[in-house]
A and B are shown apart, each in its own frame.
Chain A
Amino acid sequence: MLALEFDETKCANCKAVSCLVKCQYMDLDKDEAKIEWQKVIKSEDSPVLDACTTCYACEEYCPFGNHPFYLIVERQEERGMFTAPRPITKQWINMCEPAGKFRLGKVKEQALSFCFIPALRSLARGRLFESALPSWILGAEFFCNVVYLHFAKTSVIKDRLPKITENIEKQGIKELICLHDECYGSFNSLAPAYGIKVPFKTTHYFEYLYNKLKEHKDAIKPLNVEVAYQRNCSARLVPETDHFVDDIFGLIGVDRVEREYDGENALCCGEIIRMVKGYKLADDVQKRNIDDIVNAGAEYCVFNCPFCYMALAEKMAKRGIKPIHIIDLCKLAIGEKPALEVG
């Protein structure tokens, strides 16, 4: 059985208890946080387990690379807790169960992963993907499964993720370019935390885009627009990839507005919160986030995750903000048409 590599001694010596103190959904001071966190560690009842919205952020808040969120999920599952309603949890588990319906391009040693998200395939078009494109994979067989953290079901991940890595390896892939941020998080944060071997190299698509843009430098016409960036939950698992957002923006002449809910203080898209906590908190999170973008004077909101896009695009468009996926933004900068549009 795969076990989480969690180092309790780090917590014993931790003064700030940032994992809980910084949490945007709980109001705990250091002392309270320390007490509650010890309860979580000792597998005792703690309101933390109920209050958690599964935003992933504490994975980033912990300065010691311990895995507080993964531990919370472990504890929730041990208790048989459901974060989302049980039927919704079942629906998600059933939805992504591999059923032999995966699709492949002409797979080579380097391949693009569209995870189990057809929208990513629509995005990956044009000159930036020309050379890599024939080689791609798409389907539940390659689905990263990280989403089950939201549903207190690490067991599903432990069961499926090793098979997923096997499936990818079987295709002869040596380097996987992850177009889904969460896949990259899965292979670079979650898999190591559980001792799951990833027998291929993974590249975040940000890095891929950045390099491709450099290759097409002559084709870039600076966009000269002010944009807000919608940071997604899985970005918390791999914050080391964040700098690429600014690197890319720099290349294509885009200005990232300063706003309250960016960086560590980002707000998630809210749709998972809708499922696990109901509409009131979800609406509040979405409203604060969009108000913030409007107030910051951004013309565009740039998305990393296609699901965040689906959750927020229409709502943003109604407030006069143009939603765009970062791949589409790059395409725009070299004179190509975006793939995702609202309505």
Chain B
Amino acid sequence: MSDMYEALVKIVGKNYVSNQKEERYFYGRDPGLMSPHEPDYVVMPRTTEEVQKIVKLANKEKIPVVPKGGGLALTGLVIPLKGGIVMDMKRIDKILEVNERARYVIVEGGTTEGGLKSYLEKHHPSLRHSIPDAPPIATVVANAVIHGQGRLTQQYGFNSDMVTGLEVVLPTGEICRIGSCSISKYWFSRGAPMPDLSGLFLGWLGTTGVITKMGLKLYPRKKIRDVEVFVTDKEDLVPDILFKLTHTEMVEDINIWCQPHPPMFRENHHVTILITGDSEEELQFKKKMIWDALQEYIDSKDGGFMWVMPDAKPTFLEMPLESLSKFADVRKGGGFEYSGPIVLAEDYPECSRKLAELAVKYKLTYSGMVRVIGRSHCIMFGFAYTFNRADLDEMDRVRKALHEVAEFALEQGGTHWKPTVDEQKMMMERMDPDTLKLMGKIKGLLDPNGIMNPRNWEVG
């Protein structure tokens, strides 16, 4: 094993490898509920070539490699369940190119969401990316790897749908380019009109290779943003409200949230509607379309727009939403995990009832937070129960509640998002057997020694 350490030092230098207790402790856990498991080594490469050398070495020695971005997926995806190497991607964080006219950016495998946001604001103020509400140290690539969702997801789909190309170090050490960048210097398409191979890597949770570069679509940044919050006390109306809102095609992003605290929020479901425009006229026009679309609920008194006072607006408009991170730590102690199944919008009522029911059953504080994906094509329903890491009993209750959520989500016909290893198993048990076989074949082909993030998407 000390040979391995030396070999890693040779690749990245002494300062960027560790097999010490402190690093192993830190990299053996995430903020969620999964039990810790320590790596043998932590390594921080700086270049694609270094990544390649590390992966080749690990493949030769059949040692697991777990790529890690911000480690904020929360569901144990970066916990090295079979030990080995945690490859912290944060040093590979350059923004390599912005094609202003074709509206895409090429980032490295560890570029952070916050880093990309501020870079664009400074150098390309007319462009933006679909930033998620995760804390800003979350990484752009990992977010696409787990099919994350951001501010522009209602308009353009999952953040992974915005990927325009990849550079991947395969588990066997080859460096592959995926998409137009495989034949051209331009990174405008991840596949079309060729076969789209990006699906071999996106959604695989780092089990089929390490992404070292990624092209990502950028979108126009409008000059003004504003917010409206529509409130109803009838959860059964929410799917219809979403259908009407998305029909207007006037909205930047739609989030729905329900929570019992503080008291002014209890009993109601809140639909945050974000709107953008280059002028007051554009904004006003969009608002009117939105108001008109929902007028019938105001007339029937079943719903209405809440008065968002000017001093409260920044809380809704900031990116990422700090309030989410604050809620994440409401019980203090730094523990947070949420289950965010992807379900149909029509499942909102059932999901919100389940959320509250489990909170009562397990005596927990809850918040339901939803992001609309596409024009109400589906939603991410976040079942969030916070816990204090020092309270083992509370952690256990959250674990049980989230397990029930996992079963419930599948019964509803949904899928798990950024699934824990157990949730992956639950999905694979239900999966069409031939599809599962195909997944197994792909994994076996790409990672014959099973070194990449083992126990995740492990077929059979």
Contact = CB atoms under 8 A, between A and B. Distances in A.
Interface stretch (B125-133, B303-311, B414-422): B303-311
Contacts of B295: 278
B306 A88 contact: yes
A310 B233 contact: no
B264 A85 contact: no
Nearest to A310: B309
Contacts of A84: 301, 304
B305 A274 contact: yes
Q: How large is the interface on B (under 10, 10 to 19, 20 to 34, 35 or more residues)?
A: 20 to 34
A182 to B, nearest CB: 16
A254 interface: no
Interface in B198-236: 231-233
A87 B231 contact: yes
B267 A94 contact: yes
Contacts of B303: 85, 87
B291 A278 contact: yes
B307 A271 contact: yes
Contact of B298 (A278, A313, A318): A278
Contact of B304 (A87, A310, A313, A314): A87
Interface string B261-286: 00111111000000000001000000
A279 B263 contact: no
Contact of A85 (B267, B304, B309): B304
Contact of B267 (A90, A99, A274, A310): A90
Contacts of B302: 85-87
Given A86-B302, A278-B291, A279-B288, A94 B307 contact: no
A97 interface: yes
A99 to B, nearest CB: 7
A200 interface: no
Q: Which of B233, B288, B301, B311 has the most CB of A within 10 A?
A: B301
Contact of B310 (A82, A85, A95, A314): A314
A131 interface: no
B301 A91 contact: no
Interface string A250-278: 00000000000000000000010011001
Contacts, number: 62
Interface in B370-384: none
B385 to A, nearest CB: 22
B307 A275 contact: yes
A314 B308 CA distance: 13
B297 interface: yes
B266 A94 contact: yes
A84 B232 CA distance: 12
A91 B297 contact: no
A82 B264 contact: no
B360 to A, nearest CB: 19
Contact of A95 (B263, B280, B298): B263
A274 B307 contact: yes
Contacts of B264: 91-92, 94-95
A279 B291 contact: yes
Contacts of A279: 287-288, 291
A313 B231 contact: no
Q: Which of B295, B306, B307 has the most CB of A within 10 A?
A: B307
Contacts of A97: 263
A86 B268 CA distance: 10
Nearest to A313: B310
A318 B280 CA distance: 10
Interface in B301-341: 301-307, 309-311
A99 B263 contact: yes
Contacts of B266: 94
A293 B295 CA distance: 30
Contacts of B291: 278-279
Contacts of B304: 84-85, 87-88, 275
Given A85-B301, A275-B305, A310-B309, A90 B263 contact: no
A313 B231 CA distance: 25
Interface string A184-220: 0000000000000000000000000000000000000
Interface in A68-107: 82, 84-88, 90-92, 94-95, 97, 99
A88 B307 CA distance: 9
A95 B295 CA distance: 24
Nearest to A118: B311
B38 to A, nearest CB: 44
Interface string B347-387: 00000000000000000000000000000000000000000
A94 B270 CA distance: 15
A90 B305 contact: no
Contacts of B288: 279
A86 B309 CA distance: 20
A84 B231 CA distance: 12
Given A278-B291, A313-B310, A87 B233 contact: yes
Given A85-B301, A88-B305, A310-B311, 5 more contacts: A85-B298, A86-B301, A91-B268, A271-B307, A278-B298
11 contacts: A85-B304, A86-B301, A87-B304, A88-B231, A91-B231, A92-B264, A94-B263, A275-B304, A278-B291, A278-B295, A314-B310
Interface of B: 231-233, 263-268, 280, 287-288, 291, 295, 297-298, 301-307, 309-311
Closest 3 CB pairs of A and B: A85-B304, A95-B264, A87-B233
